[in-house]
């Protein structure tokens, strides 16, 4: 088992997702965002550690380390928030479920989705994530951009097949 398998993107048994489904709906795709969404918080913690270590050599003040513990707490909060955030596609709708204390569910019916586009930045290509841009017939969408999607090419094909219907796949 490699590191990527340990950072399970696909959710196979979470009741967190199931409670937002209608009785006649089944999960088709349920994924967490790519762990790269945690990089800014991680860089803040590492940068704060370096800065506190340097400042501690100049001044012997204990509150400097308490300030660094705040950045560590921020990282832990972001990890918890990442762990409860899901991108979900069912037979009838596309949803993003997020929030730790206040749960937010953004939803778009599949019938309203007219186009889906995948964007990948250079950093996204290096780290293995992309962004989905969904367009609908309506003017204002709750789910226009969904960033930090893991294994974007495979996920894009799976989402497209659910939204626009799976074809036979034969070239004839």
CB-neighbour burial class of residue 155 (10 A; exposed 0-12, middle 13-18, buried 19+): buried
For helices 63-83 and 39-58, angle between their N-to-C axes, nearest 10 degrees? 170
Is the Cβ–Cβ distance between 152 and 120 less than 8 Å?
Answer: yes
Domain 3-33+86-164 matching CATH 2.30.29: the answer reads yes
Q: Rounded distance, CA 130 to CA 103, Å? A: 24
pTM score of the predicted model? 0.81
Structure tokens at 37: 């969404």
Q: Rounded distance, CA 3 to CA 33, Å? A: 16
Which pLDDT tens digits describe the chain residue by residue (172 residues)? Answer: 444 444 444 544 567 788 888 888 888 899 999 999 999 999 999 999 999 989 888 887 788 888 899 999 999 999 999 999 999 999 999 999 999 999 999 999 988 888 999 999 999 999 999 999 998 877 677 788 999 999 999 999 999 999 888 655 544 4
Q: HSE of 135 in the Cβ direction (CA atoms, 13 Å)?
A: 5
Q: Rounded distance, CA 154 to CA 8, Å? A: 16
Is the Cβ–Cβ distance between 85 and 96 less than 8 Å?
Answer: yes
Structure tokens at 135: 């367009």
Rg (CA), the chain: 20
- Sorted by where each begins, the domain ranges of the chain are 3-33+86-164, 39-78
Q: Starting at the earlier edge strand, list the strands of the sheet with 93-98.
A: 27-31, 86-90, 93-98, 104-109
């Amino acid at each position: 088992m490699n590191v990527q398998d340990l950072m399970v993107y696909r959710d196979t048994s979470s009741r967190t997702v199931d409670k937002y489904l209608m009785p006649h709906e089944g999960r088709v795709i349920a994924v967490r965002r790519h762990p790269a969404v945690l990089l800014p918080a991680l860089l803040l913690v590492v940068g704060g550690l370096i800065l506190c270590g340097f400042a501690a050599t100049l001044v012997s003040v204990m509150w400097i380390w308490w300030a660094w513990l705040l950045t560590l707490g921020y990282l832990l909060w972001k990890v918890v928030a990442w762990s409860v955030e899901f991108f979900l596609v069912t037979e009838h709708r596309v949803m993003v479920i997020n929030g730790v204390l206040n749960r937010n569910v953004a939803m778009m019916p599949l019938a309203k989705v007219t186009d889906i586009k995948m964007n990948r930045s250079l950093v996204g290509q290096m780290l293995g994530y992309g962004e989905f841009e969904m367009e609908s017939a309506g003017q204002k969408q709750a789910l226009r951009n969904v960033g930090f999607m893991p294994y974007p090419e495979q996920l894009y094909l799976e989402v497209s097949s659910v939204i626009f219907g799976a074809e036979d796949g034969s070239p004839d």
